[in-house]
Structure 1
Amino acid sequence: MNTTAPTPTSGISAVFLDRDGVLIEDCGYPHLEEHLVLIPGAAEAVVRLNRAGYLAVIVTNQSGVARGMFSLETMQGFNRMLVRKLGAKGGIIGATYACPFHSDGTVAEYVHPDHPDRKPNPGMLLRAIADHNIDPARSFMIGDKPSDMEAARRAGVSGFLFDGPDLDAFVRDLLGG
């Protein structure tokens, strides 16, 4: 008779998704409705990840706030619009984290020499892990820049560099079909 109790998992599985260049076309500081152009396969990839049991979490640097290009409220509204657009196609985003800080900002409250949330720092991922009981060992990040991969590494999650063109094909290959 086996007397060993099953080991409980330490949390849920999640996928951390960068926004610009992964979920939407990176047009340089996107913040207006006309800038919200989904990457091919983005909605389908989120649906695929949801069906595979992953909590989808957006983690995005948004230095346009610190640079005075748009307000925090505009950035938050744009993120909500993206979540709604993905949701209308069946993809569920469980949480969104955005870092408005930058060392070269012009808006004093968002100027920071090396904010812990600004990728490559892992702050956004670590907060999401704590907020949502995420198991880093069962989670991964998809980003399009080395800073995304470094943030993933520092947070203890695997990182995968997406370079286009189709996010769903990329995710299908990651998940093994």
Structure 2
Amino acid sequence: MTLSENGDLWCDIRTSHPAGNNPALFLDRDGTLIELVDYLSDPAAVVLIGSVLGDIWQANKDGHAVVIVTNQSGIGRGYYGWDDFHAVQARLYDLLASEDVVIDATYACPHPPPDAGGPAHSLYRKPAPGMLIRAADDLNLDLSRSRILGDSVSDLAAGKAAGLPLGILVSDGYGARDAEAARVLADERFEVIGR
């Protein structure tokens, strides 16, 4: 695990992929992979959302990288720290291992939104595509053959901005609330699917 020098990006690359431009399955964490808990800092509160496990399993089987990209504004707001985040991640990795699925990397941005004291232009906070682009550079990924699963319009907007062709909005977390806004993102280069 590494934290960038200025503290604006945490990355944990857990596996290596063969050279070549591999596609990836990008996943939001809270509300997509695990049940939504505001400002989650307690590992005991981590509960997997079973509906995405099949997506991860299939991506693992197909040799696609599986990458978590998550906004963690609770860190930037001072509600919890990187140690708490790491403990939650460790619990998540343990639960996923018990389901026989593998996460290749996790990227986390601590910036709150601008209206909550965050920077006006964060490179990494979704809907900016920085975490996806950084993952593509680190893991040699082909963004043009990748997809993102998320529960919010900002997840899918990050995917679109990174050049992904597909965004899948899950109904968990904020998915029901953001369904209409997510559909507006669709165009000839970016497909939006709800489920």
Q: TM-score, normalised by structure 2?
A: 0.72
Identify the residue that residue 55 of structure 1 maps to in structure 2: 65
Give the Å deviation of 1:43. Answer: 3.3
Identity %: 39
Which residue matches 1:97? 107
CA shift for structure 1 position 47: 1.6
How many equivalent residue pairs? Answer: 153
Matches within 5 A, 1:60-139: 60-102=70-112, 103=114, 104-105=116-117, 111-139=118-146
- Pick 1 or 2: higher relative contact order, CA cutoff 8 A, min separation 6: 1
- Among 26, 30, 40, which residue is 1:30 paired with? 40
Q: TM-score, normalised by structure 1?
A: 0.79
Provide structure 1 residue ranges, at least 5 long, that are not aligned to the other structure: 1-8, 106-110, 166-177
Following TM superposition, by how much is the alpha carbon of 1:79 offset from its aligned partner in structure 2, in angstroms? 1.6
Alignment match of 1:12 (pick from 15, 19, 22): 22
Shift of 1:101: 1.1
Q: Which runs of 4+ in 1 moved over 2 A?
A: 40-45, 111-114
- The structure with the larger Rg is 1
- Give the CA deviation at 1:35: 1.6
RMSD of aligned residue pairs (Cα, Å): 2.0
